[in-house]
Amino acid sequence: MPELPEVETIRRIIEPQLAGQTILHVTINNPQIVAYPEAEAFEKLLTGQMVKGISRRGKFLTVHFESGDRMTLHLRMTGQLLVTPSDYPVEKHTHLVAELSGGRQIRYVDVRRFGRFWYLKACEPDIVTGREQLGLEPLDDALTADYLKIRLGGRRKAIKEMLHDQSIVAGIGNIYSDEVLFAAGIYPGTKCDALSDADWQCLAIKISTIILWGIETNQTTPEEYLAGKGKEYRNTPVLRVYGRAGRPCTTCGQTIEKATIGGRTSCYCPNCQRNPL
DNA sequence: CTAGCTTCCTGATAGC
DNA sequence: TGCTATCAGGAAGCTA
């Protein structure tokens, strides 16, 4: 499941391959991946557009065109945005193919079909669900202990759940919430209203450092990404807690535990992240 | 505002 | 071997 660091990696890989390219023809094999407008209108609008660049906001990618129009997409759990040679083998679950002027193709592959595309004309405001209410980027200087405390301090929900709320901080999912909380030494089930000023301070710092670390360690090459390695997490070997239940903590050696918090599997070190209850 | 549940999907895996 | 059940998860939508 791509989270901010993986989405940013994809952006960096894809952007240089798309910039300056014109979309000659679009085929949508599965209309449900198009959230707005209708799939047929989407195909027509996309055809003939020249790519200017790609930006990222939270886990959303936006392809900007010379016309001022833009196409936003969210990969959700299993989406893959690929730029391939036109004769590259077509994977199962390929839902969109766009022919490019340079002879290559953009392909969208998504096993679970949860990913979504939106096409917005230059004159249209952002209507992408959730996008207009996205919270701060993890690397934004405005993401401070005060910001977190004001937005979350009074909440009785577990901090792990609130880190997934895209309207507070954009881009964190199940992997990085576990990693951030481990780095901050906070038990994932801790209720927000039980966190101290020192905890908020620590969280603000760790959110940015862990996300930055995620981007920097995610050194996937375009070749590896195309070969399908983009769906495995290149940085899995360096994760400290996520997916490591039953194995020793890299800091203290205690066994990493697994618990369901807010309906999500959470991994944590019972020694480094004490449950305050 | 809260907790808790369901929906969307397929593939991997566990149990029989 | 082949069947069924369970689980994984981002985000929205629903109920109470």
**pLDDT digit string, tens, across residues A101-131:** 999 999 999 988 889 999 999 998 887 766 6
Say how many C-beta atoms besides its own lie within 10 A of residue A132's C-beta: 10
Catalytic residue among A52, A56, A59, A107: A59
Structural tokens at position A254: 């205690």
Q: Does A98 lie in the same domain as A75?
A: yes
Predicted pLDDT of residue A144 = 94
In a domain, A139, yes or no: no
Closest residue to B10 (CA, C1′): A112
Cβ of A35 near strand C (distance < 7 A): no
CATH number, domain with residue A154 = 1.10.8.50
CATH number, domain with residue A47 = 3.20.190.10
Say how many C-beta atoms besides its own lie within 10 A of residue A165's C-beta: 15
Cβ of A236 near strand C (distance < 7 A): no
Give the end of a domain, one of A78, A110, A133.
A133
What is the DSSP pairing of strand A34-36 with strand A116-120? Answer: parallel
Q: Does A160 lie in the same domain as A110?
A: no
- List bases in chain C with any atom under 7 Å of a protein Cβ: 7-13
In a domain, A151, yes or no: yes
Q: Does A81 lie in the same domain as A60?
A: yes
Provide the number of structural domains found in chain A: 2
| Domain around A153 | 145-268
Cβ of A214 near strand C (distance < 7 A): no
Q: Does A192 lie in the same domain as A125?
A: no
Q: How far apart (Å, rounded) are the C-alpha atoms in residues A39 and A55? A: 23
Sites in chain A below the pLDDT cut of 70: 129-132, 229-237, 277
Q: Which residue has the tokens 């005060």?
A: A146
Cβ of A74 near strand C (distance < 7 A): yes
The residue count of chain A comes to: 277
Is A131 an active-site residue?
A: no
In a domain, A206, yes or no: yes
Is A121 an active-site residue?
A: no
Q: pLDDT digits over A154-198, tens only?
A: 888 899 999 999 889 999 998 899 999 999 999 998 999 999 999
Q: Does A11 lie in the same domain as A129?
A: yes
Predicted pLDDT of residue A138 = 94
Q: Which amino acid is at A221?
A: T
Is A237 an active-site residue?
A: no
Q: Does A221 lie in the same domain as A173?
A: yes
Is A161 an active-site residue?
A: no
| Helices within chain A (DSSP H only) | 4-18, 39-46, 145-152, 159-163, 174-184, 197-217, 222-226
Measure, in angstroms, how far nucleotide C3 C1' is from residue A207 CA: 46
- List bases in chain B with any atom under 7 Å of a protein Cβ: 1-3, 5-6, 8-11
Q: Does A122 lie in the same domain as A11?
A: yes
Predicted pLDDT of residue A112 = 87
Nearest to A78 by CA among A55, A50, A109: A109
Q: Which amino acid is at A220?
A: T
Catalytic residue among A76, A191, A231, A264: A264
Predicted pLDDT of residue A78 = 87
